[in-house]
C-alpha cells in the first residue's frame, strides 16, 4: 500500500498539471462547461425552442424540452459551473492531497456528469425524464460530496445519498400516481388531476423536489453535505444544484394554474419559505465554520426563492414581479453563493482552515486583494446593497409580496414584513462574517504570492479572473437589471401568458426609487445597528470538530484542560485554606502581639513582621502556579489550532508536547503538595509560636495581676494611712458644719479612688 | 395450427434433451459433464426461442400423452408464459454453468454436481413447459429432489442440517400440492389449465391453500421462507445462484398457473382469496428487507434479499390485473439476472479472499473489477435506480397496484427500495472508496470463466433496462395477456 502511494505521489506531483486520465477529465469537463454555457446563452438570446424525444428508451421514452423557464435555470447553472470550473483547476492542483491526486479525474468526471444531469432536469420534457436525471444527479453529486474521503465526508455523503434517494422515491411515487391517473408524465398533467389525487401528487412531488432544494424540515442534510465537498463542488452544489429542486417545485406550481388548491399551495410555500429564511439565517448566525455558514445561508436563500414562487399565483403585475424575481434570484444566488464558496476555497488554500475563529482578519486588501474584493462583492450582493444584483431580485420578490398583500392583507402583509426582517437577518450574519474576516490582524503570516514559473502558479492567475468575472456580472445585473430581465425573464413571462402591459411595467420599473431603496437600506442599517449591540455574543469561538484525527487530540486537550482545572481548583482550595488558617493565626497572633507589645516583650514584634511576609510569599507562589496552569491551557488551545495542519509529524510532536504538558502539570501538582506541606509547617510553627506567646502572655497576665494587686494594696495602704486622719477630716468637715456634705465628699472620694484604681489597673495591663 | 404443433414439438424436444443428457452424463468424465451442462441449456434456449418465434402469442396448444402415466397422462404446452419462463431459465442456466467450471475446478466431486445440475435444469424447464398440473407437479418434484444434492454438495455439517430442513419443508410442500391436485381432480375430473373448475364447491379454498403451501414454500413466501436463508449460504455459489435466481421462481410461476389458469381471475376476485398472497407478499417484502439489513454474512444478506424480491413477485402476480402481472413476470426475468450476478460475484469474493463478512469487502473494487462491476450494477438495479431492470419491474408492479386501487402497495415498494439501498449501497461504496483491509490476501485472479458470465449478466441488466426493455417486456406482456384472456 505504501509503495503504491509513494509511486503515485511521485507521478502526480501536487503542483503539476494533471496528466494521464486526469488530464482528459479536466479537459472534458472544461469543454463541457464552456459548451453548455455558450449553448444556453445562444438559445437564451435567440429564443429558440428545442424539443425532442428518444422513443423506447426505458420503455416509456425520454423527452427533452428547452423552453424559456428551463433556459433561465439552465443558463444560471451553466454559468455557475463554468466559473467554478475555472476556479477548480488551481484549487485541485494546489489543495488536493498528493495521495489522492489520482482521484482528481474522478472529481472532474463527477463534476461534468453533475452538470449534464442538472441540465437534464432543467431541460426534461416530462417528470419521468426529470426523475431519471434526478437519480443520476444523486449518484454523480454523491461522488463530489464524498471526494475528500475524510470521515466527515463519508458520513455526510451517505446521509446525502439516502436523503436524495428518498426524495427520488417520493417523486417516483407522485409520478406513478400521475401516470396511472392521467396516462401522461408531463408537468402540465398535474393540473388535470382533481380531489385527493391532486393534493397527494402535489405534496409528493413538492416534498420530493424539496428534498433536493433543502425545503425546511428536509434540509438537514444540506449544511452537513455542502461544506465537506471540495470548494468548487460546494459552489456548484449550493449555487446551482439545489435549484434542481426549485425547478421541480416551480414547474409543479405553474401546472396548478387554475386548480382549486393553488391558493393553499401558495400559503404552504410561503410558510415554508419563511421557515427556510429564518431557520437558515438563525443557524448561520450562530455557526462557527465559514462553509457551514454559507450552507445555512443557502437554506435561507432558498427561502427567498420559495417566497418568490409562492407569490407567482397572482394575476398580472404581481405575477410578473414574482416570476422575474424568482428567476433572477436563482441566477443571483448562483453567482454570489458560488463566489463566496470560492472565496472560502481560497482561504482554505492560503490559511488551511475554514474555522471562523482561526480566520480572524484573514482577508484584507494588503493580504489578498482579490479574495478580499471577491468577499466584499459577495457580501454586498447577498445582503442586498443597492448597486449589486441581490438588491434587484429581492426588490422584485418583495414587491410581488407587497402586491399580494393588497389582496389578502393579513397573511401576505405578515409575510412581507417577515421577509424584510429576514433580509435584515441575512445582513446581520454577513456583517458578522465581514467583521471577523476583514478586521483585525491575520493570525498567520501573509502567504507568499504564487510562483509564476510552476504550472499551479500559472493556473492561479485564473482566480482573479473568476472573481472579476463574477463581480462584473453582479455589478452589471445590479446597475442594468432591465437588460438582464429582458433576456432572462421576459420570454418566460410571455410564455406564461402574463399580459404585455405587466411586462412593460417591469421593463420601466424604477429600481432605484425611494420606495425600493428605503426597505433595503432600512433593513441593512437596522441590522448594522443591531449588530453593534449583539456583536459581543457572536464572537467566533474555536470548535473542535469530531474528526477521527482531531477527536483523539481534542480528547487529549480536554483531558489536559480538565486536569489543569482540577489541579487549579485543588491548588486554589489548598492555598485558600492555608491562607484562611494563616489569616486566623495572624488574627490570633496579632492579638497576642498586641498583648506582647503591651507587655514590652521584644521577640514578638519580630514575629509580627515575619508573618505577613510568609503569607505574601505563599500568595505569590499560588499566583505563579495559576499563571502556569493558565499558560498550559492556552498552549493546549494553541495545539488544537495547529491540528488543522493535519500533518502527521506535527501530530506526533503535538502528542509528545501534550504528554510533556501533562507531565509538567503533574510536577506542578507535586509542587502544590509541597506548598501545602510548607503551609502546614508554617501553621505548625505558628501554633508553636502561639503557645510560646500564650505562655509569655500568661506570664504577663500574672505580672499585670501582680501590679494590680500591688496597686490595690497600695490603695488599701493609703486608705489605712488615711484612717487616722479621718477624725481630723471630720473635724475640719464639722467645722464646715455640713456632715452630709462630708459624707458626700467621702463617697465621691471613694468613687474617685475606685475609678483611679481601676484605671490604673487598666492602664498597667 | 401447424405452427402450434411445431412449437409444442420443439418444447417437447427442449424438455427431453436435458433429461436424456442427465442420464447420459452419468457415464462420462467431469469435463464432458461440464460441457453438457453448458451446451444443453444453451441449445434448450435456442429451441425454446424458436418455439416462441413460431407459435402465435395467443396459442394454448397442448401436446398430450394420455397413455403415459395413466390415468392423467403427461402433456407439454408451448404457451407464452411457459416459453417466456423457459427462455429465462435456459439462458441464465447456461451462463451460470460456465461459471461452475471455475468454481468447482479442484473439486473431486464436481461430476456429481454437474449431473444434479442437469437434472434440476430439466425439472425447472419442465415446470415451465408442463401442459397440465400433473406434469408440472412431476417436474417440480424432480427439481426439488435434485436441488437437495446441490445444497449439500460441500458436505459440511451446516449444509446437512440446512439440507434436511429444506428436504422436510419441500416434502411438506409437495403434500400440500398433492392435496390441491387431488381436490382439483375430484372436482373437475381433469388437471389441465382450464379456468374455473371449482364453481361454488367447498373444496376450493382448501385446494387454493394447498397449492399456496406447495408453491409458497418453494418461492419462500413469509412465513414459509425459513429454509431459504439457511440453504442458500451453505450451497456452493453457482448452486445459490441457480436456486435463488431460477428455482425459487418455479414457485412463483406455479402460483401464476394456479391463480390465473386453475382458479381464474373472476373466481378469485369474487372470493377475495388473492388478498392472502398480496398481504403475505407485502409482509415478505418487509421482513426480507429488514432482516437483510441485519445480516453481516454476504450470502445470507443476498438470501434475505431474495426473500424480499419474491415478495414483489408474489404481490404483483396476485393483484389480478394485467400490468401488475406483467411487472411480476418481468421481475422474474430481472431478478434472475440480478441475483445470479450477485451470487456469482459473492462466490468469487468468498473463494478468493476466504471472507464472508460484509465489512471485509472494503476496497476490493479495484482488485476484482469485473466482479464488483457486476455486483454494483446488480445492486443498483435492486435499489431501483433507472434505467436498470429493477426499476422497470418496480415501475410496472407499482403501476399495476395503482390500477388495482391499492396505492399503499406503491408506498411499500418505495420503502422497500429504500431499505434495499440501505443494505446494498454501503457494500458498493466501501468496495470502491475505502481502503482494503491489510490482512486480506487475494488468492488468484478473475478467470475468463468468471468475468464472462458476470459481465454478460451486468450488460443484460443495463442494456435491457435502457434500450431493449421492450423485448422481455413484450414477452411478459404477451404472457400476461395469454393467461388473462384465453
pLDDT tens for A67-84 read 888 899 999 999 999 999
Of all residues in chain B, the one with the smallest CA distance to A172 is B414
Query: Is B414 near chain A, with CB under 8 Å?
Result: yes
Range of the domain at A404: 262-335+349-447+455-539
Is B403 close to A180, i.e. CB distance below 8 A? yes
Choose one of A539, A561, A577: the last residue of a domain: A539
For residue A646, the model assigns a pLDDT of 55
- Asked whether residue A8 carries a pLDDT value surpassing 50, the answer given is no
Shortest Cα distance, chain A CAs vs residue B398, angstroms:
7
Is A687 within a domain?
yes
SS3 of A582, please?
helix
Tens of pLDDT along A148-199? 888 888 888 888 998 898 899 899 988 888 888 888 888 888 888 888 888 8
Is residue A92 within 8 A of residue A162, CB to CB? The reply is: no
Query: Is B432 near chain A, with CB under 8 Å?
Result: no
- Asked whether residue A604 carries a pLDDT value surpassing 60, the answer given is no
Q: Which of A241, A31, A211, A227 is nearest to A147 (CA)?
A: A227
Cα separation of B245 and B344, whole Å?
11
Is A385 within a domain?
yes
For residue A518, the model assigns a pLDDT of 84
Query: Is B387 near chain A, with CB under 8 Å?
Result: yes
- Predicted confidence band of residue A746 (pLDDT cuts 50, 70, 90): low
- Predicted confidence band of residue A663 (pLDDT cuts 50, 70, 90): confident
Query: Is B471 near chain A, with CB under 8 Å?
Result: no
Q: Residue B160 has which C-alpha cell?
A: 446437512
Q: Residue A148 has which C-alpha cell?
A: 475528500
ipTM value: 0.85
For residue A24, the model assigns a pLDDT of 79
Chain B hits for A158, Cβ within 8 Å: 426, 429
Residue listed under C-alpha cell 376476485: B269
Is residue A337 within 8 A of residue A390, CB to CB? The reply is: no
Bridge partner list, B77: B62
C-alpha dihedral (B468, B474, B479, B483), degrees to nearest 10: 150
Is A161 close to B425, i.e. CB distance below 8 A? yes
Chain B hits for A5, Cβ within 8 Å: none
- Cβ atoms within 10 Å, residue B354: 12
Tell me, yes or no, whether A660 and A640 share the same domain: yes
Tell me, yes or no, whether A396 and A480 share the same domain: yes
DSSP codes joined into one string, A83-100: HHHHHHHHHHHHHS-GGG
For residue A4, the model assigns a pLDDT of 40
Tell me, yes or no, whether A304 and A420 share the same domain: yes
% pLDDT > 90, chain A: 18
User: Which of the residues A129, A131, A165 would you substitute to probe the B interface, choosing the one with the greatest number of B C-beta atoms within 10 Å?
Assistant: A165
Shortest Cα distance, chain B CAs vs residue A237, angstroms:
21
Is A180 close to B385, i.e. CB distance below 8 A? no
Tell me, yes or no, whether A494 and A631 share the same domain: no
Cα separation of A297 and A295, whole Å?
5
Tell me, yes or no, whether A408 and A467 share the same domain: yes
Number of folded domains that form chain A? 2
Choose one of A717, A735, A752: the last residue of a domain: A717
Query: Is B435 near chain A, with CB under 8 Å?
Result: yes
Task: Fill in the DSSP letter of residue B260.
Answer: I
For residue B146, the model assigns a pLDDT of 92
pTM of the model: 0.76
Cα separation of B180 and B235, whole Å?
30
Is A173 close to B470, i.e. CB distance below 8 A? no
Tell me, yes or no, whether A522 and A390 share the same domain: yes
Tens of pLDDT along A349-395? 887 778 888 888 888 887 888 888 999 999 999 998 888 888 989 98
Chain A hits for B423, Cβ within 8 Å: none
Please give, one letter per residue, the 3-state secondary structure of A114-159: HHHHHHHHHCECCHHHHHHHHHHHHHHHHHHHHCCCCHHHHHHHHH
Is A316 within a domain?
yes
Is A46 within a domain?
no
Which residues, in sequence order, are CB contacts of A49 under 8 Å at separation 6+?
A65, A66, A67
Which residues, in sequence order, are CB contacts of A221 under 8 Å at separation 6+?
A156, A159, A160, A163, A164
Tell me, yes or no, whether A532 and A555 share the same domain: no
Is A173 close to B417, i.e. CB distance below 8 A? no
Q: Residue A430 has which C-alpha cell?
A: 454577513
Is A392 within a domain?
yes
Comparing A509 with A313, the larger pLDDT belongs to A509
Q: Residue A250 has which C-alpha cell?
A: 416551480
Task: Fill in the DSSP letter of residue B244.
Answer: I
- Predicted confidence band of residue A15 (pLDDT cuts 50, 70, 90): very low
Cα separation of A693 and A604, whole Å?
8
Comparing B272 with A627, the larger pLDDT belongs to B272
Is residue B245 within 8 A of residue B167, CB to CB? The reply is: no
Chain B hits for A146, Cβ within 8 Å: 429, 433
Tens of pLDDT along A88-128? 888 887 765 544 455 677 888 899 999 999 999 999 988 99
Q: At residue B75, what are phi and psi to the nearest 5 degrees?
A: -155, 150
Is A330 within a domain?
yes
Of all residues in chain A, the one with the smallest CA distance to B461 is A58
Tell me, yes or no, whether A532 and A560 share the same domain: no
Is residue B84 within 8 A of residue B475, CB to CB? The reply is: yes
Tell me, yes or no, whether A503 and A599 share the same domain: no
Domain boundaries, chain B: 274-486
pLDDT tens string, chain B, 486 residues long: the values are 688 888 888 999 998 999 888 888 888 887 888 888 899 999 999 999 999 988 888 888 888 887 777 667 888 988 899 999 999 999 999 999 999 888 888 888 888 888 899 999 999 999 999 988 899 999 999 999 999 999 999 889 999 999 999 999 999 999 999 999 888 888 877 788 876 556 656 678 888 899 999 999 999 998 888 899 999 999 999 999 999 999 999 999 999 999 998 888 888 888 888 899 999 999 999 999 999 988 889 999 999 999 999 999 999 999 988 999 999 999 999 999 999 999 999 999 998 888 888 888 888 888 888 999 999 999 999 998 888 899 988 989 999 998 888 888 998 998 899 899 989 999 998 898 888 888 888 887 888 888 899 999 999 999 888 876 678 888 898 899 888 876
Is B467 close to A139, i.e. CB distance below 8 A? no
User: Which of the residues B395, B400, B403 would you substitute to probe the A interface, choosing the one with the greatest number of A C-beta atoms within 10 Å?
Assistant: B395
Cα separation of A712 and A760, whole Å?
10
Choose one of A700, A717, A734: the last residue of a domain: A717
Comparing A677 with B457, the larger pLDDT belongs to B457
Is A738 within a domain?
no
Chain B hits for A177, Cβ within 8 Å: 402, 407, 410
Average pLDDT for A477-497: 86
Cα separation of B386 and B399, whole Å?
16
A3-12, A222-231, A658-667, B269-278, range with the lowest pLDDT: A3-12
Q: Which of A154, A175, A172 is nearest to A164 (CA)?
A: A172
Alpha carbon A625 to chain centroid distance?
34
- Asked whether residue A274 carries a pLDDT value surpassing 90, the answer given is yes
Q: Residue A431 has which C-alpha cell?
A: 456583517
For residue B1, the model assigns a pLDDT of 61
| Dihedral sign of CA atoms B201, B204, B206, B211 in order | positive
- Asked whether residue A455 carries a pLDDT value surpassing 90, the answer given is no
Which residues, in sequence order, are CB contacts of B9 under 8 Å at separation 6+?
B63
Q: At residue B63, what are phi and psi to the nearest 5 degrees?
A: -90, 115
Q: Which of A69, A426, A156 is nearest to A276 (CA)?
A: A426
Is A387 within a domain?
yes
Is residue A323 within 8 A of residue A312, CB to CB? The reply is: yes
Of all residues in chain A, the one with the smallest CA distance to B439 is A1
Shortest Cα distance, chain A CAs vs residue B207, angstroms:
35
Cα separation of A540 and B39, whole Å?
73
Is A57 close to B467, i.e. CB distance below 8 A? yes
Amino acid at each position: 500500500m505504501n509503495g503504491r502511494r509513494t509511486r503515485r505521489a511521485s507521478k502526480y506531483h501536487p503542483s503539476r498539471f494533471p496528466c494521464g486520465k486526469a488530464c482528459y477529465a479536466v479537459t472534458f469537463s472544461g469543454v463541457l462547461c464552456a459548451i453548455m454555457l455558450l449553448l444556453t446563452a445562444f438559445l437564451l438570446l435567440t429564443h429558440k425552442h428545442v424539443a425532442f424525444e428518444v422513443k423506447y428508451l426505458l420503455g416509456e421514452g425520454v423527452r427533452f424540452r428547452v423552453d424559456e423557464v428551463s433556459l433561465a435555470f439552465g443558463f444560471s447553472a451553466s454559468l455557475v459551473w463554468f466559473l467554478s470550473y475555472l476556479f477548480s483547476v488551481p484549487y485541485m492542483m494546489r489543495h488536493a492531497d498528493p495521495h489522492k491526486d489520482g482521484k482528481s479525474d474522478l472529481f472532474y468526471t463527477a463534476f461534468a456528469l453533475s452538470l449534464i444531469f442538472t441540465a437534464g432536469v432543467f431541460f426534461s420534457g416530462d417528470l419521468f425524464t426529470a426523475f431519471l436525471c434526478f437519480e443520476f444527479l444523486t449518484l454523480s453529486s454523491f461522488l463530489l460530496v464524498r471526494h475528500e474521503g475524510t470521515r466527515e465526508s463519508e458520513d455526510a455523503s451517505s446521509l446525502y445519498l439516502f436523503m436524495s434517494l428518498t426524495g427520488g422515491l417520493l417523486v417516483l411515487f407522485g409520478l406513478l400516481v400521475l401516470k396511472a391517473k392521467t396516462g401522461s408524465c408531463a408537468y402540465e398533467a398535474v393540473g388535470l388531476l382533481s380531489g385527493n389525487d391532486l393534493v397527494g401528487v402535489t405534496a409528493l412531488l413538492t416534498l420530493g423536489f424539496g428534498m433536493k432544494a433543502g425545503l425546511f424540515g428536509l434540509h438537514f442534510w444540506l449544511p452537513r453535505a455542502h461544506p465537506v465537498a471540495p470548494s468548487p463542488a460546494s459552489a456548484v452544489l449550493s449555487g446551482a444544484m439545489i435549484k434542481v429542486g426549485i425547478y421541480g417545485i416551480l414547474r409543479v406550481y405553474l401546472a396548478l394554474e387554475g386548480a382549486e388548491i393553488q391558493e393553499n399551495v401558495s400559503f404552504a410555500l410561503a410558510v415554508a419559505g419563511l421557515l427556510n429564511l429564518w431557520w437558515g439565517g438563525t443557524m448561520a448566525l450562530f455557526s462557527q465554520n465559514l462553509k457551514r455558514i454559507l450552507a445555512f445561508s443557502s437554506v435561507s436563500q432558498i427561502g427567498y426563492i420559495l417566497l418568490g414562487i409562492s407569490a407567482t399565483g397572482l394575476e398580472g403585475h404581481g405575477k410578473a414581479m414574482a416570476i422575474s424575481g424568482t428567476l433572477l434570484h436563482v441566477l443571483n444566488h448562483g453567482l454570489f453563493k458560488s463566489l463566496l464558496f470560492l472565496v472560502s476555497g481560497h482561504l482554505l488554500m492560503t490559511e488551511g482552515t475554514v474555522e471562523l475563529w482561526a480566520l480572524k482578519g484573514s482577508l484584507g486588501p494588503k493580504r489578498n486583494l482579490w479574495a478580499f474584493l471577491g468577499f466584499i462583492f459577495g457580501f454586498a450582493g447577498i445582503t442586498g446593497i443597492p448597486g449589486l444584483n441581490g438588491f434587484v431580485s429581492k426588490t422584485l420578490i418583495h414587491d410581488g409580496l407587497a402586491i399580494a398583500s393588497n389582496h389578502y392583507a393579513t397573511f401576505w402583509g405578515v409575510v412581507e414584513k417577515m421577509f424584510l426582517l429576514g433580509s435584515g437577518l441575512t445582513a446581520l450574519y454577513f456583517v458578522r462574517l465581514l467583521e471577523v474576516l476583514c478586521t483585525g490582524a491575520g493570525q498567520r503570516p501573509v502567504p507568499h504570492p504564487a510562483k509564476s514559473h510552476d504550472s499551479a502558479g500559472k493556473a492561479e492567475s485564473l482566480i482573479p479572473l473568476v472573481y472579476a468575472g463574477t463581480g462584473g456580472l453582479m455589478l452589471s445585473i445590479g446597475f442594468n437589471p432591465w437588460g438582464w430581465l429582458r433576456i432572462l425573464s421576459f420570454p418566460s413571462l410571455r410564455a406564461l401568458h402574463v399580459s404585455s402591459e405587466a411586462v412593460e411595467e417591469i421593463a420601466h420599473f424604477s429600481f432605484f426609487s425611494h420606495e425600493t431603496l428605503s426597505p433595503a437600506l432600512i433593513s441593512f442599517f437596522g441590522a448594522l445597528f443591531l449588530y453593534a449591540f449583539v456583536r459581543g455574543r457572536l464572537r467566533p469561538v474555536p470548535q473542535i470538530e469530531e474528526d477521527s484525527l482531531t477527536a483523539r487530540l481534542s480528547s487529549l486537550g480536554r483531558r489536559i484542560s480538565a486536569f489543569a482545572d482540577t489541579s487549579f481548583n485543588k491548588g486554589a482550595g489548598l492555598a485558600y485554606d492555608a491562607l484562611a488558617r494563616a489569616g486566623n493565626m495572624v488574627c490570633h497572633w496579632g492579638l497576642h502581639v498586641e498583648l506582647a507589645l503591651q507587655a514590652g516583650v521584644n521577640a514578638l514584634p519580630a514575629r509580627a513582621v515575619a508573618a505577613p511576609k510568609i503569607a505574601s510569599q505563599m500568595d505569590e507562589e499560588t499566583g505563579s502556579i495559576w499563571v502556569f496552569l493558565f499558560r498550559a491551557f492556552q498552549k493546549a488551545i494553541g495545539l488544537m489550532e495547529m491540528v488543522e495542519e493535519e500533518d502527521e509529524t506535527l501530530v506526533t510532536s503535538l502528542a509528545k508536547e501534550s504528554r510533556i504538558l501533562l507531565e509538567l502539570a503533574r510536577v506542578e501538582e507535586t509542587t502544590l503538595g509541597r506548598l501545602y506541606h510548607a503551609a502546614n509547617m508554617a501553621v505548625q510553627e505558628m501554633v508553636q509560636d502561639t503557645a510560646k506567646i500564650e505562655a509569655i502572655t500568661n506570664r504577663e497576665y500574672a505580672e499585670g495581676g501582680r501590679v494590680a494587686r500591688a496597686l490595690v494594696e497600695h490603695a488599701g495602704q493609703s486608705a489605712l494611712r488615711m484612717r487616722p486622719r479621718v477624725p481630723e477630716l471630720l473635724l475640719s468637715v464639722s467645722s464646715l458644719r455640713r456632715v452630709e456634705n462630708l459624707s458626700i465628699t467621702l463617697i465621691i472620694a471613694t468613687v474617685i479612688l475606685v475609678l483611679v484604681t481601676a484605671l490604673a489597673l487598666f492602664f498597667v495591663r | 395450427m401447424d405452427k402450434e404443433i411445431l412449437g409444442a414439438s420443439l418444447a417437447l424436444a427442449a424438455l427431453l434433451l436435458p433429461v436424456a443428457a442427465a442420464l447420459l452424463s452419468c457415464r462420462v468424465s467431469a469435463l464432458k459433464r461440464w460441457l453438457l451442462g453448458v451446451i444443453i441449456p444453451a441449445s434448450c434456449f435456442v429451441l425454446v426461442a424458436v418455439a416462441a418465434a413460431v407459435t402465435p402469442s395467443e396459442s394454448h396448444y397442448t401436446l398430450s400423452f394420455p397413455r403415459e402415466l395413466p390415468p392423467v397422462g403427461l402433456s407439454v404446452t408451448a404457451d407464452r408464459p411457459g416459453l417466456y419462463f423457459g427462455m429465462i431459465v435456459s439462458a441464465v442456466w447456461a451462463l451460470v454453468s460456465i461459471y461452475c467450471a471455475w468454481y468447482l475446478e479442484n473439486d473431486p466431486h464436481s461430476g456429481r454436481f454437474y449431473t444434479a445440475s442437469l437434472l434440476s435444469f430439466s425439472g425447472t424447464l419442465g415446470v415451465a413447459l408442463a401442459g397440465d398440473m400433473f406434469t408440472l407437479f412431476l417436474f417440480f418434484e424432480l427439481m426439488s429432489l435434485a436441488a437437495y444434492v446441490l445444497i449439500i454438495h460441500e458436505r459440511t455439517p451446516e449444509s446437512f442440517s440446512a439440507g434436511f430442513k429444506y428436504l422436510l419443508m419441500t416434502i411438506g410442500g409437495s403434500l400440500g400440492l398433492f392435496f390441491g391436485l387431488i381436490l382439483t381432480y375430484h372436482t373437475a375430473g381433469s388437471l389441465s389449465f382450464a379456468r374455473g373448475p371449482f364453481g361454488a364447491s367447498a373444496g376450493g379454498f382448501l385446494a387454493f391453500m394447498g397449492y399456496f403451501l406447495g408453491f409458497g414454500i418453494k418461492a419462500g413466501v413469509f412465513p414459509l421462507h425459513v429454509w431459504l436463508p439457511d440453504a442458500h449460504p451453505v450451497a456452493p455459489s453457482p448452486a445459490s445462484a441457480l436456486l435463488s435466481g431460477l428455482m425459487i421462481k418455479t414457485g412463483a410461476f406455479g402460483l401464476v398457473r394456479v391463480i390465473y389458469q386453475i382458479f381464474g381471475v373472476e373466481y378469485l376476485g369474487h372470493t377475495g382469496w388473492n388478498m392472502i398472497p398480496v398481504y403475505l407478499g407485502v409482509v415478505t417484502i418487509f421482513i426480507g428487507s429488514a432482516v437483510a439489513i441485519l445480516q453481516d454474512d454476504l450470502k445470507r444478506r443476498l438470501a434475505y434479499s431474495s426473500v424480499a424480491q419474491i415478495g414483489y413477485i408474489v404481490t404483483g402476480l396476485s393483484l389480478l390485473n394485467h400490468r401488475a402481472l406483467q411487472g411480476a413476470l418481468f421481475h422474474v426475468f430481472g431478478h434472475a439476472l440480478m441475483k445470479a450476478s450477485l451470487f456469482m460475484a459473492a462466490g468469487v469474493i468468498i473463494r478468493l479472499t476466504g471472507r464472508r463478512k460484509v465489512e471485509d469487502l472494503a476496497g476490493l473494487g479495484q482488485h476484482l473489477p469485473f466482479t464488483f462491476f457486476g455486483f454494483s450494477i446488480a445492486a443498483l438495479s435492486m435499489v431501483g435506480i433507472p434505467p436498470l431492470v429493477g426499476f422497470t419491474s418496480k415501475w410496472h408492479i407499482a403501476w399495476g397496484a395503482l390500477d388495482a386501487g391499492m396505492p399503499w402497495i406503491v408506498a411499500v415498494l418505495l420503502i422497500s427500495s429504500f431499505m434495499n439501498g440501505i443494505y446494498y449501497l454501503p457494500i458498493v461504496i466501501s468496495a470502491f472508496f475505502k481502503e482494503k483491509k491489510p490482512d486480506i490476501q487475494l488468492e488468484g485472479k478473475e478467470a475468463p470463466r468468471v468475468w464472462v458470465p458476470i459481465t454478460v449478466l451486468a450488460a443484460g441488466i443495463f442494456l435491457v433496462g435502457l434500450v431493449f426493455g421492450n423485448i422481455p417486456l413484450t414477452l411478459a406482456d404477451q404472457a400476461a395477456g395469454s393467461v388473462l384472456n384465453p
